[in-house]
Structures are given as C-alpha cells and as structure tokens.
Structure 1
Amino acid sequence: MGWPLRIGLGTVASLGVAAAGYWGLVSGALPVDVGAGRRLRPLGPQAMEIAAPRELVFDILAQPYLGRATRAQREKVRVLERGSDLVLAAHTTEVAGGRLSAVTVETVRFTRPARIDFRLVRGPVPHVVESFTLTERDGGRTRLEYAGELGTDLWGLGEQWGRLVAARWEATVAASLASVKAEAERRTRPRD
C-alpha cells in the first residue's frame, strides 16, 4: 500500500472518529465527564409574569412528569422512574436543524407549588442544575423565574463547547416558558 493511500485512509478514519465523537457529544450518548478543567457558567436567569394563579402554572410545568402528558409532551419527555416528589426523566430535543436528537436524562424534584428543580444525570455536558421558582403576585398573577448552572470539563475546549450547548439549552427553556405562559393564560381567560 502506497503512502498516498495510507494518508487517505488515515484521513477518512480520522474524520469518521471526529464525526462519531461529535454525534456522541451532541446526542448525549458520549458524555465527557473526566473531572479535569471544570468550567461553570450560568444558565439564565429568565423571568416572566404570567396572568394566572401559581398553582395552575405549577401544574402545567409538572404535567409531563406527574400527570397525563399530551402526545406532543410524550415525544419530548419520557418518565423513566416516578416517586412522590421526584422523577427520573429523559428529555429529547432536536438539534442540528432536526437532523439529530439530543437526549438528556435528569432528575426532577417538585416542591409544590413554589419550585421545580432539575439535575442532569446524562447529557452533552457533565453538569447542569436548574430551577423554576414560582412566586405569587397580586391579582392572581405568577412570576416564573428560571436559573441554572452548566459545567463542562477540559478547560478552554470544554468552555467553548459549553457556550454552544448553553445557547441551545437556554433557547429550549425560553420556548418552553413561552408555551407554559400561553397555556396558563389561555386556561385563566374567562370563557365567552
């Protein structure tokens, strides 16, 4: 075998390994948790006022985990194990323009009606903790606040990966919060 063929095969093999590694990271199938060079960054905060009672907003947030999930919710959230105030759930999010699906596994703890906490078990980064805090406001309104922390390993390289993951993560949360707000306010509006 001549050297041009060896170089070509080596290049193809290297590209294949790189593509498989990227797919593994994005999908959460190959998490990098080496415990070296951990970098933390905030997620959020994001906050919104919702014209609906706090208990209703909490119920809408908790529905995919504790209640009867809609078909659309079941496509995104699958409860793997359920306790009285804690579930283990797999979350599926389309990435790369819908060409890939990222799957994260998280514990979700419920403190009715004021708080829901998430802790990453498996995903594209080794560390994520998040919370939704619900505060009652005058006039039957609710303030919903989201905040969290995302951690990556491998110093600067991990930090760059964390920026990409955090941007997608926060966009997904923002879309979810907008959906919760719309549904809570729809259910609160007086019927004609």
Structure 2
Amino acid sequence: MAWIGRLTAVAMAGGGVLAGCLGLVSGALPVDVGVGRRTRPLGPQAVDIAASRDVVFDVVARPYLGRTPRSMRAKVNVLERGSDLVLAEHFTPIAGGRLTATTVETVRFTRPERIDFRLVRGPVPQVTESFVLTETGSAGTRLVYEGLLGTDLWRLGEWWGTAVAVRWEDTVASSLAVIKAEAERRTGRQ
C-alpha cells in the first residue's frame, strides 16, 4: 500500500509541473525572480502605410481610448482608461487555439507620433515596446515597431525568451497588417 502513496505523490507533482507550465505559457503564472536577467530585442518591424499619420494613430488608439469595437473584444479588454494611458488585457491564441495567453500591459499614447507598451503581467517578466509613426512622402506613414524582452534564470530564461519572442513578433506582424489594411481602407487607398 505504500506504493499507492508514492504513486499519488508522483502524480500530484507531475500535475503541479503541468499546471505550472500551463500557467507560465498562458501568462497566468508570471515568473519574475529578478535573478539572471537577460534581455533581447524585439523587431524592428516596419510597415509603410498609404494613410496620414493621424489616421494610422487613430486606428491603433481607437480600441484603447474609445469604445472597443466588437471585432476586437476577443483580442483586447481595457481594464482602466485615461486620456493618454490605458491598462489593457491582450488575448493571444496559442497551442493551435486550445489555450489563450493573456498579457496585461500599459499603453501610453503620444499623439501623433508614438505609442508605448509596457508589460505588467505575462509569460516573461519584462517587455517594453513602441510604435513610432513618421510621415513619408505623399501622405504616407511609416510605422516602426521595436521592443525589448527580458527573462530571468540565465540560459534557461534566454531559451524561454527566444520561444516567446517568436510568437510575440508573429502576433505583432499580424497586428501591423491589420493596422495597415484598416488605415488604408479609411483613406480609400488599397
């Protein structure tokens, strides 16, 4: 009968490890121990948009500063809204859509040239990002995304940061494509 106790202990430990992994991946169990911090760049990613800088800024800011459109509610939930700063949850499907990663970020708006994001809770302890909008010729805008991602625990954290960064940058690239399409649709130039 002692083997039943050992089997139960192993099963519980395995379940705890699985729960911890799921919590880390989904952002529900953030790990920020402040030891062995390593950082890596995110981006840069740039997209040229055939729309004015004000239009592009409004497309990015609308779900945060205004009423979140129904089409965006599965991706963004604003928890606290100010005039130029919001606290928002972002939802990203992972594991083939079987799980959802939730990050909580502050988003600061400096009209019309800059939007800054700072991670509060997520799968890594540190992320800062920016969208910088510059005017280009003939009423166009270049949107440049750059960021910094930090993880703890030396090489293990560095490995985890690389895995997270790939998915993070893919998500940003998708967002940039949506921003470009919407801004150009609003200006009538696709």
Coarse TM-score class (shorter-chain normalised): over 0.9
Residue in 2 that maps onto 1:156: 155
Residue in 1 that maps onto 2:13: 14
Q: Which amino acid aligns with 1:104?
A: T
- Alpha-carbon distance between aligned partners in 1 of 2:9 and 2:75, rounded to the nearest angstrom: 39
Residue in 1 that maps onto 2:80: 81
Residue in 2 that maps onto 1:98: 97
Q: Which amino acid aligns with 2:146?
A: A
Q: Structure 2 length normalisation: TM-score?
A: 0.95
Residue in 1 that maps onto 2:60: 61
| Aligned residues: CA RMSD | 1.4
How far the C-alpha of 1:70 sits from its partner, in A, is: 1.3
Paired residues, number:
190
Cα shift readout 1:75-112 (whole Å, capped 9, x = no counterpart)? 21111111111111111111111111111111100000
Q: Which amino acid aligns with 1:95?
A: I
- 2:170 is the counterpart of 1:183: no
5+ residue gaps, structure 2: none
How far the C-alpha of 1:136 sits from its partner, in A, is: 0.3
How far the C-alpha of 1:7 sits from its partner, in A, is: 4.6
Q: Percent identity?
A: 67
5+ residue gaps, structure 1: none
How far the C-alpha of 1:6 sits from its partner, in A, is: 4.6
Point out 4+ residue stretches in structure 1 off by more than 6 angstroms. Answer: none
How far the C-alpha of 1:187 sits from its partner, in A, is: 1.5
Q: Structure 1 length normalisation: TM-score?
A: 0.94
Q: Which amino acid aligns with 1:47?
A: A
Please give the secondary structure, in 2, of the residue aligned with 1:29: coil
Give yes or no for contact 2:65–2:82 (8 Å, CA) kept in 1.
Answer: no
Give yes or no for contact 2:84–2:109 (8 Å, CA) kept in 1.
Answer: yes
Q: Which amino acid aligns with 1:147?
A: E
